[in-house]
Amino acid sequence: MTNLRTLIVDDEDPARELLRSMLAPFSRIDIVGESADGETALDDIEELRPDLLFLDVQMPRLNGFDVVTALASAPAPMIVFVTAFDEYALRAFQLNACDYLLKPFDDERLAITVARVLDRYDRSSPSMSTALQSLVNQLRGAANAQIVVKVDGRHIFLDPDEVDWIEVDGKHLKLHAGKSVLHVREPMASLARRLPPQFLRVHRSAVINRSRLREMQPWFQGEYLLILRDGTRIVTGRRFRESVQTLVQHGQAG
């Protein structure tokens, strides 16, 4: 039976220490690290590749739900939310987390959680489970969902309306947000999967915010020239011809 690489995320030292000691009797739980805040957790997840997170909900700056939202689509660990508030426990349960622990919890309640986690792990792939994918999709699909990108070691949270368009620049991406340009080291395909529906990939090297499109002109060989409201000109790619045509057919040009 495979052991679960486990990361504890909580901004309170005593809480992390207590959970570590309570998990010690479970032979299949291998604690590979602890994170004291959400931003550190994202870095630790990327470096340590844990199978399981015990994730505190109430943390400054990035809370537990923010951390889940910022996770790449795959691979990602299973999640057990830890919270002192019933309202957050209920939300975690409704959003299909593996389980939640309501502080303060005892050894018996923790044992139930570990049993649930191990059962799910043994029945499915250690990569992102369907339940966690559902959780991430619901969090990202909320009306106020944010785009999370990593810039110079920092995680930047952007409202979708802030971003005009995105282009590939060598091994980096350029996110054009008004007069600002953010340089993100991430593949376009990975970021595109996390974008809300208002964004459309029009070329292998370009994604636009539909609401920024001002004009669309026929171009060579069935391609199109897109002109954004700030004057940016983008030629579409053949692979994306059909999706681009829907801008006109369904009146989705904003």
133, 156: one domain:
no
pLDDT at site 18 = 96
66 inside domain: yes
Is the pLDDT at 145 greater than 70? The verdict is no
130, 34: one domain:
yes
pLDDT, average across residues 148-163: 85
Could you tell me the CATH number of the domain that includes residue 234? 2.40.50.1020
Rg (CA), the chain: 21
Predicted confidence (pLDDT) per residue in 40-85, tens digit: 998 899 889 999 999 998 887 778 877 887 775 456 788 898 887 7
Q: Which of 89, 122, 140 is the last residue of a domain?
A: 140
88, 50: one domain:
yes
| Structure-token pair, residue 50 | 């844990």
18, 42: one domain:
yes
Residue 21 belongs to domain spanning = 4-140
Q: Which of 140, 163, 189 is the last residue of a domain?
A: 140
164, 72: one domain:
no
15, 134: one domain:
yes
156, 121: one domain:
no
- CA angle, 24 as apex, 21 and 30 as ends, to 5°? 120
Could you tell me the CATH number of the domain that includes residue 55? 3.40.50.2300
193, 116: one domain:
no
Predicted confidence (pLDDT) per residue in 170-221, tens digit: 889 999 999 899 999 888 888 887 788 789 999 999 999 999 999 999 888 8
Judge whether 240 and 232 are in contact, CB under 8 Å: no
Counted domains in the chain: 2
Is the pLDDT at 128 greater than 50? The verdict is no
254 inside domain: no
Q: Which of 96, 116, 140 is the last residue of a domain?
A: 140
CA dist., res. 144 & res. 160, Å (int): 9
